[in-house]
Structure 1
Amino acid sequence: MLAGMVSALIPCQVHRIEAAEAYPGSYDVTVARNVREQREDARPAIRNPLPAIDEFDTVILASGIWNVRAPMIMTTFAESYDFTGKTVFPVTTHAMSGLGTTARDYGESCPGATVAEGLAVKGEEVREAGADIRSWLRSAGLLPAG
């Protein structure tokens, strides 16, 4: 939902990163899988990888925060491409972790990129976050003032 709100405000291509082995619908089972993937420093396979990101100078990496960090599939994605010279903006939904460790994690998995100030929105507040999203996009230089 948050990625859709961003894409409604700025011209951008949206690509949904999906695991080859889909995450379960059950919250508890998903949490257990996430804990296991983080503990094992796993790199879950991506079902629908992009062929390349060469055409982009700016990449917004949007995800939820699971256990203080982005899901491990986001690391799989980040490590799969050359981000040299690109600007990466972390965007997250969360319960209480804010951006968690995304800036650090993307700094490590996107060598050569500039990791810029991100946006964190509480999951239950996404629908009402339009003003915050517009403000962040303006401060990031992605949306003209006005």
Structure 2
Amino acid sequence: MVIDTFLESYDFSGKTLVPFCTSASDSIDNSLHIFSELAPGATVAEGLTANDEEEIVPWLNSLGYGADSSGNTAEETGSTENGTSGSNILIAYFTAAENSGVDAVASASYSEVNGEAKGRMQALAEMIQERTGGDLFSIRTDVVYPADGGELIDYAADEQAEDARPGLTSHIENLDSYDTIFIGYPNWWGDMPQALYSFFDEYDFSGKTIIPFNSHNGSRFSNTIQTIQELEPDANVIEDGFTINERDVPDAAGDIDAWLGELGY
């Protein structure tokens, strides 16, 4: 049998096996002994025989995995308080498209990815999530950024000249749960958006790994990685971040996979 061969091929000592199956008649309880016999060093959890999707969430909750049937991601709830994925990776990003008060398609900061209009940094963050399984976190501000491209550029320049600190309306409630933080942002006038300065002011990432990613119109990261190192001196800031011209964002998935592979993901 395929499962027997699989269990015999690997050493699961010290690991937890969580069996599940579908069946029109027999319960999985009748086959749990196979797992115990073929993987004697593993812990075999209570299995599930499921014929209905609604049975899965209560079962996961009973095992302590804290499944969230709502399917909400961090940027939808405005925080990572639920921590539903159990991941130690957070993917935080800022995009003007989600802070402009209009639909993404009306924002100068959007790209069309797989037929869906979304903020460029959101698109990149979701590609990273696809590979790493991390939690998404959208950096939201009390500032409503212009949707028009020209107006946004001017507004960003004014914010930078004033060294502004926009107020944040989304907050990470469980930062201690994460040891790796991907942080994404567009390059505005050779720097991070001022919202990122507010973000780094709010959180102490000491002892954590920060992995930057960004979009640009030719300036790549400029000096922003060094800036992050200065703002978070006790964090491990990876200098080999991912940077891409904003026009190439819709087709970035392959490049992101290759980059993450080089980083060990």
Which TM-score applies when normalising by structure 2? 0.52
Within 1, Cα distance between the matches of 2:222 and 2:174? 27
Correspondence 1:3 to 2:155: no
Within 2, Cα distance between the matches of 1:16 and 1:63? 11
* CA 66–15 in structure 1, closer or farther in 2 if over 3 Å, else same: same
* CA 52–43 in structure 1, closer or farther in 2 if over 3 Å, else same: farther
Within 1, Cα distance between the matches of 2:230 and 2:162? 17
Within 2, Cα distance between the matches of 1:104 and 1:124? 25
Q: 1:47 aligns with which of 169, 176, 194?
A: 169
Structure 2 counterparts to residues 88-127 of structure 1, below 5 A:
88-116=210-238, 117-127=240-250
Within 1, Cα distance between the matches of 2:138 and 2:237? 20
Aligned to 1:124, the other structure's residue is in SS state helix
C-alpha distance after superposition, 1:60-111 (max 9, x if no partner): 1101111111111011111211110111111001110111222111112223
Q: 2:146 aligns with which of 24, 32, 37?
A: 24
Q: Which runs of 5+ in 1 are unaligned?
A: none
Within 2, Cα distance between the matches of 1:42 and 1:54? 28
Alignment match, 2:60: none
One-letter code aligned to 1:89? I
Within 2, Cα distance between the matches of 1:55 and 1:42? 30
Alignment match, 1:82: 204
C-alpha distance after superposition, 1:28-75 (max 9, x if no partner): 221111111111211111121222422111101101111111111011
Q: Give the Å deviation of 1:124.
A: 0.8
Which TM-score applies when normalising by structure 1? 0.91
Aligned to 1:24, the other structure's residue is in SS state coil
Runs (4+) off by over 2 Å: none
Within 2, Cα distance between the matches of 1:4 and 1:100? 24
Correspondence 1:128 to 2:251: yes
Percent identity over paired residues = 29
One-letter code aligned to 2:243? A
Q: Which runs of 5+ in 2 are unaligned?
A: 1-122
Which entry has the higher C-alpha Rg, 1 or 2? 2
Aligned to 1:120, the other structure's residue is in SS state strand
Whose relative contact order is higher, 1 or 2, with alpha carbons under 8 Å and at least 6 apart? Answer: 1
* CA RMSD of superposed structures (Å): 1.2
Within 2, Cα distance between the matches of 1:108 and 1:44? 20
Aligned to 2:138, the other structure's residue is in SS state coil
Within 2, Cα distance between the matches of 1:56 and 1:69? 26
Correspondence 1:68 to 2:190: yes
Number of matched pairs: 142
One-letter code aligned to 1:90? P
Q: Give the Å deviation of 1:5.
A: 1.0
